[in-house]
Amino acid sequence: MATMNISLPDQMRDWVIERTEEGEYANNSDYVRDLIRKDKQRAKSLEVLQDAITKGLKSGKPKEFNKEAFTRRMQNKS
């Protein structure tokens, strides 16, 4: 495992230490690794959302939505 040294303002350093002392994380590195994992997941979720938005924008002009017809189609599928 590689080592990385980072500098934090005192308030951030104290926050990391508090998380560790509360027992939720084994050590400071464990906390930072969890933050990175969560950030990667958030970035992936945003990518999926953006892809869906882009696909929707490229799909053409919107069509009128008929709730009753949609409900009938869904009921017929089951």
Q: Which residues contact 17 (CB under 8 A, 6 or more apart)?
A: 28
How far does CA 20 lie from the centroid of its chain?
23
How far does CA 50 lie from the centroid of its chain?
12
**Could you read off the pLDDT of 18-75 as tens digits, one per residue?**
999 999 999 999 999 999 999 999 999 999 999 999 999 999 998 899 999 999 999 9
Q: Which pLDDT does position 5 carry in this prediction?
A: 93
The span from the CA of 69 to the CA of 61, in Å, is: 20
The span from the CA of 60 to the CA of 49, in Å, is: 18
- What is the token pair recorded at 23? 């027992």
